[in-house]
Amino acid sequence: MHLSQLCELLNQKAAEFNNPSFIENDPICIPHHFSKKADIEIAGFFAATFAWGQRITIINKARELMELMDMAPHEFVVHHTPSDLEKLIGFKHRTFNSEDLNHFLSFLKQHYQKHNSLESAFLNGSTPNERLTQFHNYFFAECEPKFKTRKHVATPARNSTCKRLNMYLRWMVRQDDQGVDFGIWNGIKPSELLCPYDVHVDRMARKYGLVTRKQIDWQTVIELTNNLKKFDPEDPVKYDFALFGMGVIENAK
């Protein structure tokens, strides 16, 4: 397919999927339950963290957690007591369990006691690699969790695609008039975002020659995003809607 034809296809598909009808069946529906900035950030962070496996399961588990937090995640994070944590015992999503949840809540409580927004945790560094590496280090700075908990917060230092963190950043940073992404953070430019990379995106990226690396790793994400910048250097990650959407539909056939 000629480059101009591919550009036309991706723009068409991005517009097709980047609209409010996308929200209901995607984990981004969880932060859309809230209007307070900190609630959106926290709900989105957990929804993105849970985002592996079937989308309906991800949504149900994230919604369950929000309900356990009385649908007031920021209030719960900042003011929870040891007795409040008792009702979270037994919570689990795949390999993410209540022990992991306790560490997440401890980090978030310490952060929000000093900062009004989670955005500041992602601003240490001038490149995506530096930002996500420093976020990982910051997330685990106060205590040393079991290795298993570390696996729930990816880092480029382990050559991970960091799919869930890149997706979370897309949610928080991208701003348009379509009503899907929130665009509530201003410290990172949309042009600096990297495309979330999962099996659906991978299949479409390879189908259209946007990725040539055999491995699926951090460098593959860089390759894909750099190729997407040929179509829109200011907002390359909008094509996540196109690649993911086409991938899901093709997989369902």
Q: What is the pLDDT of residue 251?
A: 67
pLDDT at residue 24 is higher than 80: yes
DSSP structure class, residue 72: -
**150: confidence class by pLDDT, cuts 50, 70, 90:** confident
**Partners of 97 in the β-ladder:** 92
Parse the chain into domains and list their residue ranges: 3-252
Q: HSE on the CB side for 1, CA within 13 Å? A: 14
Q: What is the pLDDT of residues 64-122, one digit of tens each?
A: 999 999 999 999 999 998 888 999 999 999 889 988 999 999 999 999 999 999 999 99
Residues ≥6 apart with Cβ < 8 Å to 229: 191, 236
Over the Cα atoms of the chain, what is R_g?
18
Position 38, amino acid: A
Q: What is the pLDDT of residue 243?
A: 97
Q: What is the pLDDT of residue 145?
A: 55
Q: Are strands 92-93 and 96-97 parallel, antiparallel or unpaired?
A: antiparallel
Closest C-alpha among 48, 10, 52, 32 to residue 181: 32
DSSP structure class, residue 230: T
197 close to 224: Cβ distance less than 8 angstroms = yes
**In this predicted structure, which of 106-115, 137-146, 151-160 has the lowest mean pLDDT?**
137-146
Distance CA 214, CA 253 (A): 25
Is 85 exposed, middle or buried, given 0-12, 13-18 or 19+ CB atoms closer than 10 A? middle
H-only helix segments in 69-213: 73-79, 82-85, 98-112, 128-139, 147-150, 163-173, 199-207
- Calculate the average pLDDT of the chain: 94
216 close to 160: Cβ distance less than 8 angstroms = no
Prediction pTM value: 0.95
Q: What is the pLDDT of residue 144?
A: 62
**146: confidence class by pLDDT, cuts 50, 70, 90:** low
Q: Which residue has the tokens 């949840």?
A: 101
